[in-house]
Amino acid sequence: MFSITVKGMFKGLALAAVCVSAALAASSSGPAPGFQLSGRDGKKIDLAQFKGQVVMINFWGSYCGPCRTEMPLLEDIYKKYKPMGFTLVAVNVEADSSAAEKWLGKLAKPVTFPVALDTESKVSKLYNVDSMPSTVIVDRKGNVRFRHRGYKAGDEDLYLTQIRTMLKE
């Protein structure tokens, strides 16, 4: 027989949470799959146009609560680091982008980064997106360096650490 204390149980849960967080923000390697999608304005957004920059690709849906929470924080990151060679492409995954347009139009602080529309989920499949939001960070050489699944308060600190590191490379 064994005895589990409440303190021991919390330590175990804390360790498990750290392991899960690390797995969800896993490092990756290899070239980022190229893509072209229409933007909100109808113009093409091509990942290749950002070569030489650190690129955050954020897959999101207007129906997703964590996506809604994260969006204004992503705008702040974009504005601060854009002059240093950083860009962000938000890829909306909804088949009908009208809900996304409506939600974006209601934001108190409009987003200024490119928003691409993946209405056929082609790019989402290319990047194996299986949760919302999902974020992929690509280095200046075009390689996928980090993948994040989901969002919880404080994740933006990890994004910032990863972005700053890559901007210095």
Task: For each of the domains in the chain, give its residue range(s) and CATH number, in order of start.
Answer: 26-168 (3.40.30.10)
The predicted pLDDT at position 6 comes to 40
Q: Taking the model in full, what pTM does it have?
A: 0.83
pLDDT > 70 fraction of the chain, expressed in percent and rounded: 83
> Six-digit token pair at 23?
């797995």
> Six-digit token pair at 145?
């360096």
The predicted pLDDT at position 27 comes to 52
Residue corresponding to tokens 């109808």: 42
- CA–CA distance, 28 with 83 (Å, rounded to integer): 26
pLDDT mean across residues, the chain: 87
The predicted pLDDT at position 28 comes to 62
The predicted pLDDT at position 9 comes to 41
pLDDT digits (tens, 9 = 90+) for 95-111: 999 999 999 999 988 99
Nearest to 91 by CA among 62, 48, 51, 50: 62
How would residue 1 be classed by pLDDT, with cut points 50, 70 and 90? very low
Nearest to 104 by CA among 138, 61, 52: 61
pLDDT > 90 fraction of the chain, expressed in percent and rounded: 81
pLDDT digits (tens, 9 = 90+) for 45-70: 999 999 999 999 999 999 999 999 99
Higher pLDDT pick, 17 / 33: 33
